[in-house]
Amino acid sequence: MTKTDTPTQSPAPAPIIHLRTVDSTNAYCQRRAQELPCPCVVLADEQTAGRGRQGRSWHSPDGENLYLSILLPLPQADSHLPALPMAAALAGLDALTAVGVTGAWIKWPNDLLIENRKIMGVLIETCRGRGSRELAVVGIGMNLDMSAADLAAIDRPATSVRAEAGRDVERAELLQALIAAFFAAWEQAQTGGAAALQPRWSAASRLLGRSVQVELPNETLSGTVTAFATDGSLCLRLRDGSDRRVQAGDVHLRPL
Ligand code: BTN
């Protein structure tokens, strides 16, 4: 892969645009949505203003990790939308398995953890492409080879592929596996919608039956996870016995 901001040929199902440094691959896709091929993958060696969920930042030191955004048409049917986070999480799991890292699980909706240590995060945003077409920007950050100092700079427990695999893993190998798995899952969702991915996605979670706290913008819910709905929402039984479905929020596990 050459470092350029023009598309390069690759065996991937979409062109890969490889940047040396950028503020955020998601922001880059949003700024250039009118010019970029769609679908495409924007990869950066370093992000100077990497974005995380809930307005957090994503620590993105040079050359240590995978930082990429997949730009693709937003599905027309609302029922297909939850397939995006599901496909991203499943692709991460498949890529980890491909390089010999086992034991990862999906912390709703799409974080990947090993025990309580985060290894991958996903930030999905939208923008308008040519002809005002609505596009999705699926931003994925996976810790590949972070130094102990960089891992310690993260405010939550974190790990990396190298730490878990116990060996050096080529970024290109992980990237190819991730992209291939993402587009395979996405293809599956084109016909079957989110329902086609939901069983695997739900099975890869360890939250079923667990006691959790879910932080929403204006309240915090405490309850037990009873299911993951086909539309991607988290089903909770609250302490007063009532049921709530949550579309988005930050989950914290309560001790067993
Ligand atoms: C999270 O908070 O867990 C989501 C993190 C998403 C980080 C990725 S890195 C590539 C892409 N560009 C960004 O600025 N963020 C996402």
CB count within 10 Å of CB 194 equals 24
Q: Give distance in angstroms: CA of 116 to centre of ligand 1.
A: 19
Specify the residue with its C-alpha closest to ligand 1, atom 16.
139
Instruction: Burial-class residue 158 by CB neighbours within 10 Å (0-12, 13-18, 19+).
Output: buried
Pocket lining: 53 vs ligand 1, CB cutoff 6 Å: yes
Instruction: Burial-class residue 143 by CB neighbours within 10 Å (0-12, 13-18, 19+).
Output: buried
For 24, 35, 184, 187, 206, the CA distances from 87, given in Å and listed in that order, are 21, 25, 9, 10, 17
C-alpha 118 chain-centroid distance: 11
Pocket lining: 138 vs ligand 1, CB cutoff 6 Å: no
Residue among 140, 142, 159 whose CB has most ligand 1 atoms within 8 A, to mutate: 140
Backbone angles phi, psi at 208, to 5 degrees: -60, 130
Pocket lining: 58 vs ligand 1, CB cutoff 6 Å: yes
> What integer pLDDT is reported at residue 2 of this predicted model?
39
Residue among 123, 124, 156 whose CB has most ligand 1 atoms within 8 A, to mutate: 123
> What integer pLDDT is reported at residue 118 of this predicted model?
95
Tell me the pTM: 0.93
136: helix, strand or coil? strand
Specify the residue with its C-alpha closest to ligand 1, atom 15.
51
> What integer pLDDT is reported at residue 154 of this predicted model?
85
Pocket lining: 28 vs ligand 1, CB cutoff 6 Å: no
d(CA 149, CA 99): 24
78: helix, strand or coil? helix
Q: Give distance in angstroms: CA of 222 to centre of ligand 1.
A: 27
Pocket lining: 51 vs ligand 1, CB cutoff 6 Å: yes
CB 124 within 8 A of CB 139: yes
Pocket lining: 111 vs ligand 1, CB cutoff 6 Å: yes
Q: What is the largest CA-CA distance in the chain?
A: 58
Q: Give distance in angstroms: CA of 102 to centre of ligand 1.
A: 22
Beta strand segments in 1-156, E:
16-22, 40-47, 66-73, 104-107, 111-114, 117-128, 134-142
Instruction: Burial-class residue 210 by CB neighbours within 10 Å (0-12, 13-18, 19+).
Output: middle
Single-letter residue type at 27: A
Question: Block means of pLDDT (10 residues each) for the chain, length 256 residues?
Answer: 46 88 98 97 98 93 95 86 94 97 94 96 96 95 89 88 93 96 94 92 93 92 94 93 93 77
State which ligand 1 atom lies nearest to the alpha carbon of 49: 14
Q: Give distance in angstroms: CA of 254 to centre of ligand 1.
A: 25
> What integer pLDDT is reported at residue 1 of this predicted model?
42
> What integer pLDDT is reported at residue 4 of this predicted model?
47
